[in-house]
């Protein structure tokens, strides 16, 4: 006999759908979880030994439950037909053309998924917004579902935003700070809310499962990302002041973070934030504010993104300035291409912007990242906004070892805070580099004093040389 609990289907086998549903299946052996996707290759990878995304701990839990109560399938309709609860966890990128281009979220995937549920379902469903969406998207989903369903089927819509961060997705899902479930404040809405809360209660303490209205829940997700990104832009703005004054940004962040009202987390100065969501979600909030005729509010949030662009540019300019104002035909090693450590994801990675600048200056760039696939780096650097295939072939070399990547280069630029960059034999690295040998630490992870002792010229964010 199969599992006796509710059946869950998730539309979208991405960075959110995959890990989230794998953890549900792992923690709730009673629940049958099927993750479906339009992309058959991605589904095949989820069913293989080499999962399509890298997340610490993910392999183990997928292998423990796959084929038991966890299934990956390209048969979207079957998944919908069988499920009691359906997560919509599809992509919601920033719109590229049309009204709101460059700011608004492209809801075409959410709408297509919703229409498919309406068309295929033959029994009542609880439809759960897992994707990050603008405030009041649930209303559109409800209108589509109700207009396209036959009389005796009921759809209840919940908002259940995901707060996991990549690189720590599994532990974030296993021990969430909170699980948020928004619903219409009707008897049916609350019943649906309880059905989903019961699933999470399989491993999350009830007091951490919080419920509220749909619109608050939707807006809370955008608000949380905006507040997090705003902390990084704030500390990065301070890093510029530190460099100009002789203050040390790590010390300033430490001193401020000891105030319990501020707290120590998420105050690490950097080359700028990346990742698929911070920029997209803030721009979405900017668009929402403008649509609501709140230009001052829009401008406030827009500045978080502008400051991030400034920080990325500032760092590439620092490299060029310190390399005697020209990097043309110089060789530069880039350590790390992922947008943060412990992920192979490169979406909006600051490394893309940096390498774009370097290529434009005709520098030879040697990239090493322990997890990012070569094909991904090529795709990112030959994107029309970044560079051509010709430039890529002429100026970029991908390495599988940091010592090879840094051989005979003029500088190393640390872009991702991978732990292994702290453990390299920098004597060996130094010996094989051109002199003077520069290291630019964009993540404040290296021991600058020790490196200077070896002979390196060291430059870091937020501190004078
Ligand atoms: P992703 O691009 O990795 O995955 C989305 C998947 O949905 C793709 O594989 C795509 O093929 C599939 N898809 C699109 N339309 C479909 C349809 N109609 N039916 C079935 N599958 C369909 O995206 P992601 O990073 O998992 O993000 C998904 C959502 O979650 C976004 O709204 C994002 O903002 C939000 N989010 C992401 C993160 C994160 O860390 N990546 C964290 C929290 C929230
Ligand atoms: C972020 C949020 O942390 C998650 O809660 C949210 O669910 C997710 O966005 C989302 O909605 O997609 P993620 O982007 O995966 O998660 O990773 P973060 O750890 O937030 O890092 C984002 C970027 O900020 C990275 O480039 C990171 O290096 C940078 N960062 C982070 C800093 O520069 N300094 C810090 O102190 C923290």
| DSSP per-residue codes, 282-333 | HHHHHHHHHHTT-HHHHHHHHHHHHHHHHHHHHHHHHHHHHTTT--TT-EEE
Q: Is the CB of 336 under 6 A from ligand 2?
A: no
CATH number of 7-204: 3.40.50.720
Q: How far apart are CA 336 and CA 380, in angstroms?
A: 14
7-204 and 215-465 have identical folds: yes
The residues of the chain scoring below 70 in pLDDT are: 1-2
Closest CA to 336 of 399, 387, 386: 399
The one catalytic residue in 28, 256, 277, 401 is: 277
According to DSSP, residue 262 is labeled T
Q: Is there a catalytic annotation at residue 10?
A: no
pLDDT reported for residue 2: 67
Which residue puts its alpha carbon closest to atom 16 of ligand 2? 165
**Neighbour-count burial for 389-426, b at 16+ CB within 10 Å, e otherwise:** eebbeebbebbeebeebbbebbbbbbbbbbeebeeeeb
Task: Tell me the C-alpha distance between 227 and 362, whole Å.
Answer: 38
Return the pLDDT at 465: 75
Just give the CATH number of 215-465: 3.40.50.720
**Per-residue pLDDT at 456:** 98
Annotated binding site for NAD(+): 12-17, 37, 42, 90-94, 131-132, 166, 277-280, 347
> What's the order of all strands across the beta sheet hosting 396-399?
396-399, 364-368, 331-335, 411-414, 438-441, 457-460
DSSP strand pairing (179-183 vs 155-159): antiparallel
Over the stretch 358-376, which tens digit does the pLDDT of each residue have? 999 999 999 999 999 999 9
The half-sphere exposure of 157 on its side-chain side, counting CA atoms within 13 A, is: 24
What pairs with residue 414 in β-bridges? 335, 441
Contact in structure between 7 and 82 (CB atoms under 8 Å): yes
Residue 36 CA to residue 117 CA, distance in Å, equals: 12
Closest-CA residue, ligand 2 atom 34, reads: 268
Q: 74 — phi, psi (to 5°)?
A: -95, 0
**What pLDDT, on the 0 to 100 scale, is given for residue 150?**
74
Nearest alpha carbon, ligand 1 atom 6: 12
The pLDDT of residue 430 is 98
131 lines ligand 1 (CB under 6 A): yes
Beta bridge partners of residue 334, listed in sequence order: 367, 413
Domain spans of the chain, in order of start: 7-204, 215-465
With a cut of 0.95, is the ipTM above it? yes
User: Please, is 115 exposed, middle or buried when counting C-beta atoms within 10 Å of its C-beta (0-12, 13-18, 19+)?
Assistant: middle
What H or E segment, with its residue span, contains residue 440? strand 438-441
Nearest-atom number in ligand 1 for the CA of 131 is 32
User: Are 182 and 158 a contacting pair, CB within 8 Å?
Assistant: yes
pLDDT computed for residue 4 by the predictor: 86
CA angle 66, 72, 73 (to 5 degrees): 145
Torsion of CA 306, 312, 316, 322, to 10 degrees: 90
The dihedrals phi and psi of 253, each to the nearest 5 degrees, come to -65, -40
Contact 442 CB / ligand 2 (< 6 Å) = no
């Amino acid at each position: 006999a199969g599992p006796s609990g509710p059946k869950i289907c998730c539309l979208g086998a991405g960075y959110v759908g995959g890990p989230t549903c794998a953890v549900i299946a792992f923690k709730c052996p009673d629940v049958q979880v099927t993750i479906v996707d339009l992309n058959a290759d991605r589904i095949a990878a989820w069913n293989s030994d080499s999962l399509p995304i890298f997340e610490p701990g993910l392999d183990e839990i997928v292998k423990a439950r796959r084929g038991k109560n966890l299934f990956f399938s390209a048969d979207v309709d079957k998944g919908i037909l069988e499920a009691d609860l359906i997560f919509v966890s599809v992509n919601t990128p920033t719109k590229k053309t049309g009204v709101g281009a460059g700011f608004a979220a492209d809801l075409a995937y959410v709408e297509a998924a919703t229409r498919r549920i309406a068309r295929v379902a033959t029994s009542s469903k609880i439809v759960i917004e897992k994707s990050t969406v603008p405030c009041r998207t649930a209303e559109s989903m409800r209108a589509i579902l109700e207009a396209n369903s036959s009389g005796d089927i009921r759809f209840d819509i919940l908002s259940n935003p995901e707060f996991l961060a990549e690189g720590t997705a599994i532990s974030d899902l296993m021990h969430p700070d909170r699980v948020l479930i928004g619903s219409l404040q009707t008897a049916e809405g609350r019943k649906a809310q309880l059905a989903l809360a019961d699933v999470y209660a399989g491993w999350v303490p009830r007091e951490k499962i919080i419920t509220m209205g749909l619109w608050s829940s939707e807006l809370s997700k955008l608000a949380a990302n905006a507040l997090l990104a705003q902390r990084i832009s704030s500390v990065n703005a301070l890093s510029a002041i530190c460099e100009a004054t002789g203050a040390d940004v790590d010390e300033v962040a430490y001193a401020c973070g000891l105030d319990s009202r501020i707290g120590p987390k998420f105050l690490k100065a950097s080359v700028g934030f990346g990742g698929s969501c911070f920029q997209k979600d803030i721009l979405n909030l900017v668009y929402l504010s403008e649509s609501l005729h709140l230009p001052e509010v829009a401008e406030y949030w827009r500045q978080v993104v502008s400051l991030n662009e400034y920080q990325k540019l500032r760092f590439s300019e620092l490299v060029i300035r310190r390399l005697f104002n020209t990097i043309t035909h110089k060789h530069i090693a880039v350590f790390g291409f992922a947008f943060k450590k412990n992920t192979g994801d490169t979406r909006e990675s600051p490394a893309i912007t940096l390498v774009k600048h370097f290529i434009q200056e005709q520098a030879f760039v040697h990239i090493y990242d322990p997890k990012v696939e070569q094909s991904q780096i090529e795709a990112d650097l030959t994107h029309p906004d970044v560079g051509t295939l010709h430039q890529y072939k002429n100026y970029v070399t991908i390495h599988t070892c940091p010592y090879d990547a840094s051989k005979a280069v003029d500088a190393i630029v640390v872009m991702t805070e991978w732990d292994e960059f702290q453990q390299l034999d920098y004597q060996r690295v130094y010996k094989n580099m051109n002199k003077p040998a520069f290291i630019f630490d964009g993540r404040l992870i290296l021991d600058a004093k020790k490196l200077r002792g070896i002979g390196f010229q060291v430059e870091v964010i937020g501190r004078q040389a």
